[in-house]
Every structure is written in C-alpha cells, then in structure tokens.
Chain A
C-alpha cells in the first residue's frame, strides 16, 4: 500500500520531533527543546479543537478555557502541596470533563454564530474568574513550585523526559482521534456537521453525540493544559484568554480543518512563524496576518489540504471546499 501524503507528513513530522532533543544537545541550544515541547502541547490542543470544529462543525471560540482549567487544577493542587501526578492529572481531566458537560449543554442549544459567541462568553467568564482568584495569584498567575510527581516512574523536572512524554501523548491523541472519527460515533458527528435535519430524519438524536464530542475535546484540551503547566511551571489567566482560543482556531485552519494531521502541522507552523517573525519585528502579526489570509484563500483545506489536492486533482479533498 502506498502511504498517502498525509501519512508521509505525519511520519516526517514525528521523526523530526523525535530528533529535536538530540539536535538541542548537539548544538547546545536547549531552547529548541523548549520550542518543540510548546509546539507539541499546542498541537494536542489544536487536535482536540479539530475534533469538534473540523469534524463536528462546532466552532468553539472558547476552547482554550479547557487548557486553562487543566493547568489551573495542576497549579492549585501544587499550591496545596498535592504534587502527585496520579492525583493531579485525573482530577484535572475530570474537572475539564465536568466543565465541558456544562458549557457544551448550554452552547449546543444554539448554532452557528450564536454558538461561537456563547463559547466565547463562557470562556471569558472563566478568564475573569481566574483574574479574580487572589488566593491563586489573580492576574499575576501562580508559579508551580514543582512539576507533577510520578513516584520515580518519570521525572518531569528532567526536561528531556518531559519532552518525550509530551511526544508520546501527542501520538496517543492522534491515534485516538483517528479511531474516533472513523468509528460509528465519528460518522454521527460528521453527519451532524454535514446535514443535521437529515440526521434527525433518519433517527439520530444528535445533541447527545455532539455533547459527547464536546466533552472528549474538552478533556483532551485539558491534557494539553496539564502539560502546559508542567512545561512553563507557571499558570495564569492568560491561558484562557479569547486570543488563546483564537490561536487554536488559526492553527486548525492553517494546517487543514477536518484533516487528521492538519492541526499538528498547523500548530508547528504557527509556533515556528511566531518565533521567526517576532525575531524580525515586534509587529510580527503584520506579516503573519496576510500569510494566513493567503492560506485561507488559496489553500482552503489548509496546508495539508493543499498537499492532498496536488496529489490527486480529480478527487475532491475531504472538507476542503466546504
């Protein structure tokens, strides 16, 4: 079987990511390690958003809230000297799940632009809640005294270990997404994106499936938050700010909405461009903005959609021209 270009992109991307710690140690630039980790953590966030946005048609403008909740649970636990990852992590994922049930149940009553606005409003509410949490640093945020502790299983204060943990978790999330979207459940959420009236008519009560997808995506974004807290050793309300949610949307669009590996590529390119361009000028968005517009106009399936289309011009790419 000849691998598709998407498969090749995945193989190449992960091979490069696997080599980053080696390159960092050879060149003696530890910053590469830091950069690679941040890319992969945000890639997990973008992957999770793509599940609901790309496949489910639910454009959430508040997805970063779950990254923030995941991070805050870790931070607050550490503040109260609960440092065991075996407690912190399940607790953080559970919290994200609970909030996702509530936020999803409210916002899925609406569609289209109202859905966008409600997810935005709910996330901003949590952002201001974070700002007002004086006990946990308020506006200034909360430094993490020590990373999640896994009883000698893995030492997250060792930066390379943390790197490879993130690497493995990103692969795991990609695999979960792949299984999910091809499963019966995945067909239902894609059907609901495509034609909700028809889904109702053939007998699907779509709300419960969409809500479940929203919760899965929220929990996965929570994982990104847990990792982000350990990565930056710091938690602050900015993680939940609407511009962070916007960044996730841009990553998904950039890489290719509704393609499996698109968000990973999108996150990588986003962070790389941000680094490279902000080195050139303080107003790096002035260059990034037009670039994004070009991608959206001329590669509507994102960077990956662009590749797939060149591979087989006759076949219409999935989700590419919706």
Chain B
C-alpha cells in the first residue's frame, strides 16, 4: 500500500460535556474517494473543521503529505493543498459565479497586494476559473450574481471554488445536502468525473451515492471510527448494520 496522503492520529475535540471527536484515527490513500458516514451528530462536520483548521484539536495529530499540519491555520492548510466545501453553502453572494471562483484562483496565485490592475481583466485568474466552472457544469451561469442561483447550483459552485485552489485533497461536507433526486444524480456524476485525478474525503448521508462513489468507507459514531474498509466489507459488517445502516434503512 502506498503512503497515505492524509493521516489522522488519535484526534480529539471536546465541546463542554460532549466528545465530538473521540480518539479518531483514519488514513486517506491518494487518488481514492474515502467516504465518512455516520448518524446525525456523529461528529462528521466537526472532523472536517478540524482537518481544514477552522477548529483547533484538543489532542492528536494530523499528517498531510508527510507533514504535521495540526497547528496550522486554515489559509496555511489551503496553501498546502487542502480544500473544503461547506455543508451549509458558504459563498460570496454579491459576486458573480465567475468572480467567486476567480477569487479562489487568486488565493493561490501569489500575494494579493496588487492595487492597480482590474482583477476581472486578468486572464490568469479568469481562465482557470472558467475551467473549474466547466468541470462542474456551471459555465453557462458564470456571469450571474450567485444570490440569484438555485440551491443545486450553489452546491456545484462550492465544488468549483474548492477545485480552483488546485487541491491535493478535497474535503466535501455533504455536497448533496438539500438536493432533489435529479440534482443528486448530477452531483454523483460530477464527483465521478473527479475520481482518480483527485483525492477526496467525502461526508454524505445519501447512501446510494456513497456506495456508488467510495473506494473506502469509514463509519463514525459518537466521534469514533467504529469500522473502516471497502464498501462491501462495510455493508457486511454486523456492528455497522446495527449502529447505523439498519437504523437508516428503517428510518427511510
């Protein structure tokens, strides 16, 4: 087995009396889609925030590309190649779709102490931004102010903005949240298109999507990884079935 791109060792995060992340360990192999599933409140979004640097960890280590990044702030992690998307859409509402993505390109094109030339005229920002919009199928909507886009389009834009930073690792926090069946289908095909070229840590509630996309699945319950393996192993795992999959099955 090759060296893991992301290695999480004994990560912990406590909020008052709640252990949101409890001694979590996990390894993501390069080029794979690694899904993390678990019931609501399992600590999935907390984990993403810790990996992206938005939340400090109480203890444990995060190794990325062989380097300890546990203490780094979000911008520094972004520069090392970690991109995240948000469960609740987080974009620049006053900007057009193209400007949203161009700003993400700009973040990785040197410093921004450039005061004179109009950013929208810079081909080296606009062209990669268009390419990222193309990848997620949003290029037709490039010049629309994003507050006027639909929810599904916002979710696509989230992915485009993350891709525009040319990441080595994508942290996707429920990319299909709030989507209808048709939109979900579209998102699955977008993510399928990224497979192989990108390493992805995917959090998702849509089990059809997870089993269609993932190379590896980790099951999180109360901040702790109770199982990890290939989709077939997870499907067959008794503990997982009782803790999660069974529940989900009857709940739906």
Contacts and interface: CB of A to CB of B under 8 A. Distances in A.
A318 B95 CA distance: 9
A186 interface: yes
Contacts of B162: 202
B92 A202 contact: no
Contact of A194 (B84, B92, B113, B148): B92
Contacts of A4: none
B119 A186 contact: yes
A201 B74 contact: yes
What size tier do the contact residues of chain A reach? 20 to 34
A203 B113 contact: no
A143 B95 CA distance: 48
Interface residues of B, number: 42
Interface stretch (A87-95, A161-169, A176-184): A176-184
B116 interface: yes
Nearest to A188: B112
Nearest to B107: A203
A200 B73 contact: yes
Contact of A198 (B76, B90, B147, B148): B90
Contacts of A188: 103, 106, 112
B52 A201 contact: yes
Contact of B54 (A182, A184, A201): A201
A212 interface: yes
B104 interface: yes
B21 interface: no
Interface string B166-194: 00000000000000000000000000000
A145 interface: no
A194 B107 contact: no
Q: Is chain A's binding surface mostly helix, strand, loop or mixed?
A: helix
A299 to B, nearest CB: 18
A190 interface: yes
A246 interface: no
Contacts of B102: 187
A202 B78 contact: yes
A201 B84 contact: yes
A202 B147 contact: no
Contacts of B212: none
Interface in A164-219: 179-180, 182-188, 190-191, 194-195, 197-205, 209, 212
B145 A316 contact: yes
A81 interface: no
A195 B107 CA distance: 14
B79 interface: yes
B75 A203 contact: yes
Contacts of B113: 185, 209, 212
B94 interface: yes
Interface string B87-108: 0001111110001001110111
Q: Is the interface of B mostly helix, strand, loop or mixed?
A: mixed
B94 A184 contact: no
A319 interface: yes
Contacts of A282: none
B104 A202 contact: yes
A180 B115 CA distance: 5
B120 interface: yes
A200 B75 contact: yes
B119 A184 contact: yes
A187 B115 contact: no
B28 interface: no
A268 B181 CA distance: 55
Contacts of A197: 54, 86, 90
B106 A184 contact: yes
Nearest to A258: B94
Contact of A195 (B92, B117, B118, B122): B92
Interface in A47-98: none
B54 A200 contact: yes
A190 to B, nearest CB: 7
A200 B113 CA distance: 17
Interface string A287-322: 000000000000000000000000000001011001
Contact of A182 (B83, B120, B164): B120
Contacts of A180: 115
A302 B145 CA distance: 21
A194 B145 CA distance: 13
A191 B125 CA distance: 15
Nearest to A316: B145
B189 to A, nearest CB: 25
Contact of A183 (B91, B108, B119): B119
A204 B92 contact: no
13 contacts: A179-B115, A179-B118, A182-B118, A187-B103, A191-B92, A195-B92, A198-B90, A202-B103, A202-B162, A202-B165, A204-B107, A205-B76, A322-B94
Interface of A: 179-180, 182-188, 190-191, 194-195, 197-205, 209, 212, 316, 318-319, 322
Given A188-B112, A194-B94, A202-B162, 19 more contacts: A179-B116, A179-B118, A183-B116, A184-B106, A184-B115, A186-B119, A188-B103, A190-B92, A191-B103, A197-B90, A198-B91, A198-B161, A199-B107, A200-B78, A201-B74, A201-B86, A201-B90, A203-B79, A212-B113
